[in-house]
Amino acid sequence: MKKSYYSKVSEILISKEEINEGISKASKWIDNEYKDVNEPVLLIGILKGCIPFLGQLTTKLEIDVELEFMIVSSFKGTQSAIGMPEIIKDIDSDVKGKHILLVEDIIDSGYTIKYVIDKIKERQPASIKIITFLSKDGNRKVDLEPNYTCFSIPDKFIIGFGLDYKEKYRNYEFVGVLKKEFLD
CB contact burial 118-135 (16+ within 10 A = b; e otherwise): eebeeeebeebbbbbbbb
Rounded Cα gap, residues 60 and 79, in angstroms? 32
Give the start-end residues of each E strand in 4-155: 9-14, 41-47, 65-73, 86-89, 99-107, 127-135, 148-152
Q: List, in sequence order, every residue forming a beta bridge with 86; answer none if it has no partner.
A: 73
Rounded Cα gap, residues 176 and 160, in angstroms? 6
Residue pair 141/123 in contact by the 8 Å Cβ criterion: no
Contacting residues for 150 by C-beta, under 8 A, at least 6 apart:
22, 23, 25, 26, 53, 131, 132, 133, 134
Q: Does 108 participate in catalysis according to the annotation?
A: yes
Q: Which of 108, 137, 164, 184 is catalytic?
A: 108
Look at strands 158-159 and 148-152 and give their pairing. Answer: unpaired
Rounded Cα gap, residues 9 and 182, in angstroms? 9
Q: Which residues are catalytic?
A: 108
